[in-house]
Amino acid sequence: MVDPTIAESDVALARRLAAEAGELLLRVRASHGHADPAALKAAGDRAAHDFLRAELARCRPADAVLSEEDDGSRLVDTGHGVSRRTADRVWIVDPLDGTREFSEQGRADWAVHVALWARDAATPHGLVAGAVGLPAQSRVLTTDDPTAPAAPAPPDGVIRLAASRSRPPAFLAALAGEVGAELVPMGSAGAKIAAVVTGDVDGYVHAGGQYEWDSAAPVAVATAAGFHASRIDGSALTYNEADPRLPDLLVCRGELAVPLLAALRRQLAGTAVTSGSPVPHPGKDPR
């Protein structure tokens, strides 16, 4: 367990690391420019990863780490002698979520994810602290203060679903048609789930393949704010599994969970309803 003499709480540490890694990424972006996107992506990934691993080793040396940029941590060993499969506490981080958007000039839909999983957590997903940094938006959302002023609902009351810019699930257009939704293309998973939390969209459905680090911090923040988060079949999201693949999820306003899950079941079964009443818009209240 964490030394009780350590002044910085887990959520404060997550917030600081997401913010400082984000500032570092903005400096990398400014210094490298956008002429060579591949080099910029690689430089950003490496700089943020090295910073997060060094800070976690310094501030929480007894904890394990699962990072997108550390192949060893995906299996057993974190690189400093702690097995994530037997550890009581595991930090799940994505140093740069949305490398494509990071490499494109002017885009702000990329993120830094820092989450903490604990074996004794009371939550079904096991996540006890988290922060999503949105550096190009000058924003950090955290599990102790996850909310932001919600954007007003569109005047036509249409449900807004965040969708991948490049890899939307094949059934998503049909799902949107069934529930009367508008698809809103966005970049990283963190930016999409953050948009649910801030009220810019009403939900996010993904089924194109992801890993735990893609969703751990955003899911921690969203559920702390009272939003629904699950697999697309309605089962619980779980983290620190032996296989870190977590291929699908639904994050949405709570009142949309039942109708969206029902529509998803019909779509996935290949018996989708092609007409009917749209899902009522939930309004501004994110809880």
**pLDDT tens digits, 197-223:** 999 999 999 987 899 999 999 999 999
Dist. CA 165–CA 162, nearest whole Å: 9
Given a contact cutoff of 8 angstroms between Cβ atoms, the answer to whether 53 and 82 are in contact is no
Beta pairing, strands 127-134 & 139-142: antiparallel
CA torsion angle for 203, 260, 170, 168 (degrees, to 10)?
10
| pLDDT higher than threshold 80 for residue 96 | yes
Which stretches of 60-125 are DSSP H helices? 71-75, 99-102
Confidence of residue 79 (pLDDT cuts 50, 70, 90): very low
**pLDDT tens digits, 125-137:** 999 999 999 999 9
pLDDT > 90: percent of the chain: 70
**pLDDT tens digits, 226-267:** 999 999 999 999 999 999 999 999 999 999 999 999 999 998
Q: Per the structure block, which two tokens stand in for 198?
A: 């801030």
pLDDT at 150: 52
**pLDDT tens digits, 44-75:** 999 999 999 999 999 999 999 999 887 666 65
| pLDDT higher than threshold 50 for residue 42 | yes
Give the residue-averaged pLDDT of 143-166.
72
Mean pLDDT, the chain, rounded, equals: 86
CA distances from 22 to 19, 117, 118 (A): 5, 22, 25
Which is nearest to 65 in space by CA: 56, 48, 254?
56
Given a contact cutoff of 8 angstroms between Cβ atoms, the answer to whether 131 and 11 are in contact is yes
Query: Considering only 39-48, 118-127, 167-176, 235-244, which range has the smallest mean pLDDT?
Result: 167-176
Give the residue-averaged pLDDT of 135-155.
75
pLDDT at 272: 43
Dist. CA 22–CA 96, nearest whole Å: 9
Given a contact cutoff of 8 angstroms between Cβ atoms, the answer to whether 247 and 210 are in contact is yes
pLDDT at 276: 39
pLDDT at 273: 41
Q: Per the structure block, which two tokens stand in for 208?
A: 């194109």
Confidence of residue 171 (pLDDT cuts 50, 70, 90): confident
